[in-house]
Amino acid sequence: QVQLRESGGGSVQAGSSLRLSCLVSGRAISGSTMGWFRQAPGKEREFVATTGGFTEYADSVRGRFTISRDNAKNTLYLQMNNLKPEDTAVYYCASCPIRYVNGVAAAEYDYWGQGTQVTVSS
């Protein structure tokens, strides 16, 4: 059974940094496409970043967020710098068993974590 567990969320002020972690069990992330998505209150879930065969970021986070993975720890990370109030959302990690996919569409992923809350105040 594949399980994803996010951690590292919290409440910070604008301009601060956070690092989210996603520990994966039941599937090796080295052979997977991994992604981060977020959902703000009253909005649809949106793509943030992906890594696998390709690395891509949403325009709203490019240059501020960095996605990375530690295959030995089977853990995905999202380093978030210069956080803005509009980054406030529940952040989800997701896993796709195929490495070389686009990774931007939520439908490409078959397993999701439970989410971790990030709140940025101005």
Average pLDDT over residues 51-76: 96
Residue located via tokens 């972690």: 21
- The pLDDT assigned to 102 comes to 85
Confidence category of residue 53, pLDDT binned at 50, 70, 90: confident
Band (pLDDT 50/70/90 cuts) for residue 66 is very high
**How many other CB atoms sit within 10 Å of the CB of residue 96?**
21
End-to-end CA distance of the chain: 40
Whole-Å CA distances, 104 to 25, 47, 48, 58: 22, 6, 8, 9
Cβ-in-10-Å burial (0-12, 13-18, 19+) of 97 comes to middle
The mean per-residue pLDDT over the stretch 68-87 comes to 97
Average pLDDT of the residues of the chain: 96
